[in-house]
Amino acid sequence: MSKEKVGFLSQKERKINVRILTALIAVTIIVSIGSAVVIPKFTAENQYGMPIDISSGQGFFPCDDSIILKNASIIYQDPHDEITVYRWFIDGNPVSIGPSTTYTVANKDSFSAQLVVDNYTNVQSSSAVFSFSSSCGIISENFSTVPAYNDITYDPNGSITFYDKSYSKLDPEYDITSWWWKGVNLETHEEKKSSDNYLKMKLPNKTGVQYKIDLVVGDSSGRNFSSLTKTVIVPPDNVIPVANFTVVPAIGGCPLNVSVIDQSMSMVNYTVSNVSLDYNYSVYNNLNPSILIYNNVRDRNPMINLSDPGTYSITLNVTNIYGVSNAKTKEIQVSGYPNLTLNASFSAAPQYGNPPLTVTFIDTSRKNEPVNYEWDFDDGSGPVNTPSGTHVFGSREYPYNVKLKITGTESKSTSDFILPVKVEELDAKFLTEDKGSRTYSFRDVSDGFPTQWYWDFGDGFSGRGNVVEHSYKVPGDYSVIMYAWNDLRKDSVIQKISVL
């Protein structure tokens, strides 16, 4: 190569190199600016590990839950960029720094959660905000345990099933529609989850074991959830308590003092065992099984006083240390009052409700001779001359004062007893009071004796009770709904309010 050409480029070569240098400069500028796009996202689950759906911008959780929030943010355009700072806020207040946080909800119906993320150049700072709401008291949660054995045989396949027994107080017949189970065998640490209305787990052969069961249930609205945690003890093979007792005396005149003598056994593999038992006696009046005379009597050999005549059922329920129970029931006959003056009385069930209301009356009068009965139902229907029966009431603004008069043959002695019955159609109503600062008070004034209330404030939040108060965050028109229900009916009413 000649000296004249050393260090010089041809015109074509110079054009190529200029294009390469220009491209390199452009790439350098793009990287240094930090043009990656940060899309902030996070997921939520409750303390039992159940995912909470926040795709609509709002999630619902059981009462007094702990909410676990986890980062799920995404970076676009620059694969070398990364998120270096995570900042969590609850209701606008900073709570923690890091890719996840746990918030324990205590006596709160709602809260908002915010995640702020920064990339490593600190150029991109983005946030995501979601609202969370809780509904308490709408669902009664429960489940039952069915081991894979009975009083005689043991299932060698080793399985145990937990069945949901929850119900919605708004509509007990069909309102539970979603389940989330988590079961842990505390012996083997086996863990299993299910979204069915039952959970089936393995049962170790011939051994007793404990299970920790978490259950979350939701109703058909998709907004009401409730949770339950139980530790269930499953006994080993054929551990069976056998309830038995005698009563002395089993028949007599009132007042009758009955001595209960326990004869229960606990059996292991069909031999009498010294496994200790817990005792629970209950006593009912057979003429009216809704009348509970005694309950939760824990003594092994109690003394029971029966002051009125009638037929009584005594039930003993024994439970061993593994939680397996067995029950036995016996009857006691108590005759009438000797040398006792007449005393009229009766029971009525139900004593209030919606028309037409059918009420069952049962005579519980004290008497030592045959008597004549005369019922007056305070509705012009005329006297009825039977000891017990039913009567149908219509509706009116004041109670029906039902009267029973009994007359004995001895000296023509008489006795009266009066019990009011209230009948009224359930009609949901409530009053609204503007308390200022976008805060409103709502008070139930329904007819028909409601016993439970549920409020929908129209902004995604709810309340319970006959008097509630709620603050709205933003102005607007809202539809407030009150659901009221008693033992027989439910009703609802809606009011529209304008929040300024």
CATH numbers and ranges of domains, the chain: 37-134 (2.60.40.10), 139-234 (2.60.40.10), 243-335 (2.60.40.10), 346-423 (2.60.40.10), 430-499 (2.60.40.10)
Which tops the pLDDT comparison, 276 or 34? 276
pLDDT band of 338, cuts 50, 70, 90: low
Query: What's this model's pTM, rounded to 2 decimal places?
Result: 0.40
Look at residue 345 and give its three-state secondary structure. coil
226: nearest Cα among 456, 48, 490, 465: 48
pLDDT surpasses 50 at 32: no
The amino acid at 315 = T
Q: Given 3-state DSSP classes, what are the helix, strand and coil percentages for the chain, each rounded to the nearest 5?
A: 5, 55, 40
pLDDT surpasses 60 at 158: no
332: nearest Cα among 246, 402, 244: 246
pLDDT attached to residue 147? 47
176: nearest Cα among 202, 148, 145, 198: 198
Which tops the pLDDT comparison, 201 or 409? 201
pLDDT band of 412, cuts 50, 70, 90: low
How would DSSP label each residue in 232-298?
A: EEEP-TTEEEE--EEEE-SEEESSEEEEEEE--EEEETTEEE---EEEEEEEEETTEEEEEEEEEE-
The whole-angstrom separation of Cα 240 and Cα 269 is 8
In the numeric block, which tokens belong to residue 133?
């709401």
Per-residue pLDDT tens for 60-81? 777 767 788 888 777 766 666 6
315: nearest Cα among 337, 291, 302, 331: 331
The structure tokens 């009825």 sit at 384
pLDDT surpasses 80 at 172: no
The whole-angstrom separation of Cα 366 and Cα 82 is 86
The whole-angstrom separation of Cα 188 and Cα 185 is 6
pLDDT band of 478, cuts 50, 70, 90: very high
pLDDT surpasses 80 at 25: no
Mean pLDDT of 142-150: 56
Task: Answer for the pair 489, 495: CB distance below 8 angstroms, yes or no.
Answer: no
Give the DSSP letter of residue 427: B
Strand (E) or helix (H) holding 375? strand 371-376
The contacts of residue 406 (CB under 8 Å, 6+ apart) are 342, 344, 365, 367, 371, 372, 373, 374, 414, 415
pLDDT attached to residue 10? 46
The contacts of residue 152 (CB under 8 Å, 6+ apart) are none
Mean pLDDT, the chain, rounded, equals 76
Per-residue pLDDT tens for 208-256? 678 899 888 888 777 778 888 888 877 655 466 778 888 888 887 777 7
pLDDT attached to residue 415? 74
pLDDT attached to residue 44? 85
The structure tokens 């110079």 sit at 14
Residues of the chain above pLDDT 70, percent: 75
CA distances from 301 to 10, 177, 241, 247, 480 (A): 117, 46, 17, 10, 57
Task: Answer for the pair 308, 334: CB distance below 8 angstroms, yes or no.
Answer: yes
Q: Can you give the C-alpha Rg of the chain in angstroms?
A: 36
pLDDT surpasses 80 at 322: no
Mean pLDDT of 408-416: 70
pLDDT attached to residue 443? 93
pLDDT band of 290, cuts 50, 70, 90: low
Ramachandran angles phi, psi of 208, nearest 5°: -90, 150
Per-residue pLDDT tens for 416-475? 778 787 777 778 899 999 999 999 999 999 887 787 888 889 888 888 888 999 999 889
Instruction: Count Cβ atoms below 10 Å from residue 32 Cβ, excluding itself.
Output: 9
The contacts of residue 262 (CB under 8 Å, 6+ apart) are 244, 245, 279, 300, 301, 316
pLDDT attached to residue 468? 92
First to last CA, the chain: 89
* Lowest-pLDDT choice from 3-12, 24-33, 60-69, 104-113: 24-33
The whole-angstrom separation of Cα 400 and Cα 73 is 67
Which tops the pLDDT comparison, 20 or 389? 389
Mean pLDDT of 374-399: 84
pLDDT attached to residue 18? 40
Report for 102-111, 196-205, 418-427, 451-460: range of highest mean pLDDT: 451-460
The whole-angstrom separation of Cα 149 and Cα 127 is 55
The whole-angstrom separation of Cα 442 and Cα 481 is 10
Report for 109-118, 198-207, 489-498: range of highest mean pLDDT: 489-498
pLDDT attached to residue 101? 85
pLDDT surpasses 70 at 184: yes
